[in-house]
Amino acid sequence: MTTKRLSTLIGALLTLAVLVLVVAGIPRTGDSPSLATSPAHTSAAATAAPAASAGVSASAKSSGGPAAARPTGTGVANPSRLPEVKASELPAEARQVLVLIARGGPYPYGRDNITFGNFERVLPQKPSGYYREFTVPTPGESDRGARRIIAGDAGEKYYTADHYSSFSFIAEGK
């Protein structure tokens, strides 16, 4: 294949990929994602407990993958000695991410819902793969920023504003 033909083919594929992302509503890298994509995602909705809070998310059930057994419950007791923060006291962006986690996505960043290794050993020690990490968008940042929510398999969640240096247990439903 000639270089010109290959360049044309790559250009067409990139255009198609961008079109798919736009239609799917997924932000491009570097964009500041808007997690509130419908009127249902108001700040009141972001702090409310989801209706399916006692079960496993529908997407986790249907995926059959490693997330299939991950509970989406709220009101989990603090299993750590870390300070607590009420979910209602978190930044609005963090409350929106809690709603996405409860729903099982979709997540705006490709690095969301990946295994968090707990290499800093600040969180309670658990087997590899126990914790998942989610980006909390930071207004004004051109990248993912430092804020994250870490979720454990038992439903506990932790917030860090300083990229894993410190954590607070999230007291959901409060």
Q: What domain range is 97 assigned to?
A: 35-171
CA distance 37 to 15: 24
Amino acid residing at 117: G
Question: Which CATH number fits the domain that encloses residue 63?
Answer: 3.10.450.30
Return the percentage of the chain with pLDDT > 90, whole number: 49
CB 118 within 8 A of CB 131: yes
Which active-site residues does the annotation give? 133, 163
Residues 53 and 105 in one domain: yes
16 shares a domain with 91 = no
Residue the block writes with tokens 């309670």: 124
13-39: average pLDDT: 46
Q: Are residues 83 and 111 in the same domain?
A: yes
Shared domain for 25 and 41, answered yes or no, is no
Say if residue 36's pLDDT is above 60.
no
Kindly tell me if the per-residue pLDDT of 37 is higher than 70.
no
Q: Are residues 107 and 127 in the same domain?
A: yes
Beta strands at 168-171 and 84-86: parallel, antiparallel or unpaired: parallel
Burial of 53: CB neighbours in 10 Å, binned 0-12, 13-18, 19+? middle
| E-assigned strand segments in the chain | 84-86, 114-116, 131-135, 148-152, 157-160, 168-171
Q: Same structural domain for residues 23 and 9?
A: yes
Least confident of 37-41, 110-114, 119-123, 136-140: 37-41
Which pLDDT tens digit goes with each residue over 99-124?
A: 999 999 999 999 999 999 999 999 99
Looking at the fold, whether 9 and 53 belong to one and the same domain comes out as no
pTM of the model: 0.59
Same domain for 21 and 78, yes or no, is no
Quick one: 9 and 78 in the same domain?
no
pLDDT at 147 over 70: yes
Of the listed ranges 15-19, 62-66, 86-90, 119-123, the least confidently predicted one is: 62-66
Domain identity same for 43 and 129: yes
In total, how many domains does the chain have?
Answer: 2
49 closest CA partner among 89, 4, 9, 99: 99
One domain, residues 27 and 77:
no
In whole angstroms, what is the distance from residue 31 CA to residue 48 CA?
27
Are 79 and 44 in a shared domain?
Answer: yes
> Which of the pair, 95 or 53, is modelled with greater confidence?
95
